[in-house]
Amino acid sequence: MVRKARNARDGGKDGFSRREREIMDALYKLGKATAAQILEQIPDPPTYTAIRTQLTILEKKGHVRHTSDGTRYIYEPSVGREQMGRRAIDSLLRTFFDNSVERAVAALVTRKDAEISDEEWERLARLIEKAKREGR
């Protein structure tokens, strides 16, 4: 069986290419938007046609939906940001941390640029204790 090599532009099942991430970031920020409004949000933007093409691809993947307002399409995310974040975390855990929550959390809290306040450490400790009590 021959497998297609993935490159940096391929997003994978739940992953996004750089442009797809930029479009999704813009949509989550705006809530609902036209392609032109999304284009305004993207640094070093591609052409309007490229944005429309990417939106069509994202719609086929199930990440975006649209409604019509006359001749304009109004786009919005199909899935809430938090749910999409959970999917992304699941993918990161599988891909980079061998499904180890411990390794992922260790990578986050030991980053040199991690700025974690005392209050955040306390909230994290409470979340961990609650998860332990619930048998997770």
Q: What is the full per-residue pLDDT of the chain (136 aa) written as tens digits? A: 333 334 434 444 446 888 998 999 999 999 999 999 999 999 999 999 999 999 999 999 999 999 999 999 999 999 888 888 888 888 889 999 999 999 999 999 998 888 999 999 999 999 999 999 998 8
Query: Nearest CA to 91 among 26, 30, 24, 13?
Result: 13
Q: Give domain status of residue 51, yes or no.
A: yes
Q: Which residue range(s) make up the domain with 128?
A: 97-133
Q: Structurally, how many domains does the chain consist of? A: 2
Looking at the fold, whether 62 and 109 belong to one and the same domain comes out as no
Q: Are residues 26 and 57 in the same domain?
A: yes
End-to-end Cα distance, the chain: 38
Report helix, strand or coil for 17. coil
- How much is the pTM? 0.64
